[in-house]
Amino acid sequence: EQTTRIDEIVSYQRQRAAVAGTSSVTRPIPLAPILRRLCASLDKVHHDRHLKCSVQVPADLQIRADEGDLFELLGNLLENAYKHCSARVSVTATLAGARLDLDVEDDGEGFRDTDVERLLQRGERADQRHPGDGIGLAVVSEIVRQYRGELRVLASDLGGARIRVTLPA
C-alpha cells in the first residue's frame, strides 16, 4: 500500500514538474464540498476508530486553484490529521481580506518544537508508530509555495497539531 502511494505521489509530482513554468488551469473551486468529501472518505477508512471530523467552512467560500493541487493539499493535511488524532479532527476556513486561512487541527499528541522544520522535508516523519512515507507535509509545503502562500505548524486548542495554510484568495 505504501509503495502504491509513493508511486502515485511521484507520478503526480512528475506531472507538476512537466508543466512548471506554464500557467496551470486554475478556477474558482468551492472549498466546503471537497472537504466534506475527503472527510467522508477518511471516515470510511478509519471507521473502526469512530473519529469525528468537524468542517466549519462557509458554503460560498471558494479558492482559485488547480483542482488536482487542491485535492493533493487537502488530502495530505486531512490524512495526517486522521492518522495522528485521538478522536477529533477540525477543519476551518475563513476569508480575511485578500487571503484565505485554512486550519486543519487534531487532538493527537502534536509536534515537538524541534520537529517542525524537519517535517517539511521529504522523507521526514515525526511519529514512527504510524505507517507513512514522510512526503505529505513536504508536498503540501511545495504546493503552498507554488501558490505564494504560507504554511505554519502550530499547537491546536484541541491538544494536537494545527496546520495553518494561508493562500491568496
- CATH code assigned at 140: 3.30.565.10
Cα–Cα dist 33/48, whole Å: 24
The confidence band for 6, taking pLDDT boundaries of 50, 70 and 90, is: low
Q: How many domains does the chain have?
A: 1
Is there a domain that residue 58 lies in?
A: yes
pLDDT digits over 85-127, tens only? 999 999 999 998 999 999 999 999 987 665 656 566 554 545 5
Q: Given this model, what pLDDT does residue 22 score?
A: 44
Q: Which residue has the cell 469525528?
A: 52
Cα–Cα dist 39/124, whole Å: 25
Task: Using alpha carbons, select from 114, 63, 52 the residue that is nearest to residue 85.
Answer: 52
Is there a domain that residue 20 lies in?
A: no
Strands 62-65 and 88-96, by their bridges, are unpaired
Q: What is the DSSP letter of 54?
A: E
Q: What is the mean pLDDT of residues 22-41?
A: 88
Is there a domain that residue 131 lies in?
A: yes
The confidence band for 150, taking pLDDT boundaries of 50, 70 and 90, is: very high
Q: Given this model, what pLDDT does residue 105 score?
A: 98
Task: Using alpha carbons, select from 79, 68, 76 the residue that is nearest to residue 29.
Answer: 68
The confidence band for 149, taking pLDDT boundaries of 50, 70 and 90, is: very high
Share of the chain above pLDDT 90, in %: 62
Q: In which domain, by residue range, is 65 found?
A: 27-168
Write down the H helix ranges in 110-154.
116-119, 136-146
Is there a domain that residue 164 lies in?
A: yes
